[in-house]
Structure 1
Amino acid sequence: MSDISHLSRRYDRAANRWQAKMDRFGFGPAYRHMLGQVALPARPLVALDADTGCGTFAGAALDFGLSFAQLDLLDPSARMLAHASEMVGARAPLRCFATDIASHEPAACYDLILCAHVVEHCADPVATLAQLRAMLAPGGTLLLAVSKPHWCSLIVFLRWRHRCFEPAEMRGLLARAGFGTTRGYPFPSGVPSRVSHGYCAN
């Protein structure tokens, strides 16, 4: 079984409880705080939430007030994808893809890509980031949330065996993937401020 298949099966088993966990830890408000600091076009956007999980990042974007001409949700876990679709509901024109980033084919079409806590599970983070960059339309924006070192992250590691990246290291990975401009956005409080860090890359 591939690492992706193994991980997606674990997320399938966790799907029914995942959104409650995200709500309890405050990730939705953390993502909305980040969105409030990023300059995005005012027009309706064509967007992708890559490995959306239960849709927390996409839901935060909708709650923040972003408008989407099209919103694609991608996740290899079918159960997570079903929860994400329910979260978005009828708030945006929606397409769902039960696959992983490497198998998603659209190129140079997204104004905005959301990607929360994905690259730390990838064997080659630079290759994954380069694939995401190839999906961005000219002038498009990638918004990332990535695990950072903290003793709280050790608790997550014991369950999910993920990696953590210092902000300087993450900026270096983004540069190697071909992004020209990267800005960091620390989360202000709670669990997200301890275990995660936000990035905007163009």
Structure 2
Amino acid sequence: MTLEHHTPQIPVFERRLGSWQIAVSRDSFGTDQLRAAYDACAPCWDRKIGRLGFPSAYRDLLGQVAAGLNEGDAAPVKVLDCGVGTGAMSLALAREMPRAFDLTAVDISPVMLQEASANLQGAGIGCRADLADISALPYDSDSFDFVMCAHALEHLAKPETALAEMCRVLKPGGSLLLVTTRKSLLGTFVQLKWRTHRFDAAMVQQQLRQRGLDQLTTLQVGARRWTRFWSTAVVGRKPADRENTAPGIAMAAA
């Protein structure tokens, strides 16, 4: 008799001992569960990430990326923040970006989206805020010059679907920045608490390469050991001289 299990699984532990393969996995959050969890956390989220040093880490990170976004014509850069949370990444970009940009922000949590809109408005940053799942982005292909996603991809049952969507809406010649929970002791703690995947930079680069992106670079997430040990970041470019036709490949994370 076979036990059927249709809930997507988060791999937690896997080892091979001779002919034995030992694997432990956990049910991922469903969409409604994930939305409810972040709705509950939204009012205190800024304080949490502030204590952990992520706002300044995001500024350091985007300072490394923003210069490359200043190339080209004088039109505002079209930016998409996937899983905007309370807006920390977008606020960091505004402080580091020397050029005007048009911001679109997406989140599955309406309360997070409200917090982000208020924070961005308070900083004088205009934003189109859309309640949507980043696994099914409501935008045309080749729409954005810069797509960024911080600590959202790993929460999804099927992160490869969201990754394919981000690559789809990215314009040829545009850049994609991913910040994810890395394989580390801190990453394990986050995984157990939030049922997340964990990624290493090599695997993220491989996935982006398989989807046609190039000029892949791994970046440090801030100057503090804490944020660097927690997270990894990879930036890549969608080639301007050919269509991005690479098929989706499942992401093997732990």
Same fold (TM over 0.5): yes
Matches within 5 A, 1:1-202: 3-38=30-65, 39-41=68-70, 43=74, 44-89=76-121, 91-106=124-139, 107-187=141-221, 188-202=223-237
**How big is the shift at 1:67?**
4.0
Mark the structure with the bigger radius of gyration.
2
Could you tell me which amino acid in structure 2 is paired with residue 75 of structure 1? D
Give aligned pairs, total: 202
Question: Identity across aligned pairs (percent)?
Answer: 30
Q: Which AA in structure 2 matches 1:99?
A: A
Q: Distance in 2 between matches of 1:4 and 1:181?
A: 33
Q: Structure 1, unaligned stretches of length 5 or more?
A: none
Letter in 1 for 2:115: H
Per-residue displacement from partner, 1:181-201 (whole Å, max 9, x unpaired)?
Answer: 311002231421111011111
Paired AA for residue 119 in structure 1: L
RMSD: 1.8
Following the alignment from structure 1 to structure 2, what is the Cα–Cα distance between the partners of residues 65 and 181?
20
8 Å contact from structure 2 (residues 80, 147) kept in 1: yes
**Aligned equivalents of 1:125 and 1:178: distance in 2?**
17
Give the unaligned 5+ runs of structure 2: 1-6, 8-28, 238-254
1:199 partner letter: V
Contact 1:70 1:92 in 2 (8 A): no
1:177–1:119 CA distance, 2 compared to 1 (3 A) = farther
For the residue of structure 2 that corresponds to 1:40, the secondary structure is helix
Larger mean Cα displacement after TM superposition, 78-87 or 169-178: 169-178
Offset of residue 81 of structure 1: 0.4
Mapped to 1, the partners of 2:39 and 2:226 lie a distance apart of: 23
| 1:92, distance to aligned residue in structure 2 (A) | 2.9
Give 3-state SS (helix, strand or coil) of 1:33's partner.
Answer: helix
Please give the secondary structure, in 2, of the residue aligned with 1:36. Answer: helix
Q: Report the Cα offset of residue 155 of structure 1.
A: 2.0
SS at match of 1:37: helix
Most deviating of 66-75 and 113-122: 66-75
Q: 1:66 to 1:146 in 2, by over 3 A?
A: farther
1:94 to partner: Cα distance: 1.4
Task: Please give the alpha-carbon distance, in whole angstroms, between the structure 1 residues aligned to 2:32 and 2:236.
Answer: 28
Q: Report the alpha carbon displacement of residue 65 of structure 1 after superposing the two structures with TM.
A: 3.5
Q: Which deviates more from structure 2 when the two are superposed, residues 39-48 or residues 16-25?
A: 39-48
More helix per residue: 1
Q: Which letter does structure 1 place at the counterpart of 2:118?
A: E
2:85/2:113 contact within 8 Å kept: yes
User: Is the Cα contact below 8 Å between 2:155 and 2:196 reproduced in 1?
Assistant: yes
Q: 3-state DSSP class of the match of 1:80?
A: helix
Offset at 1:66? 4.6
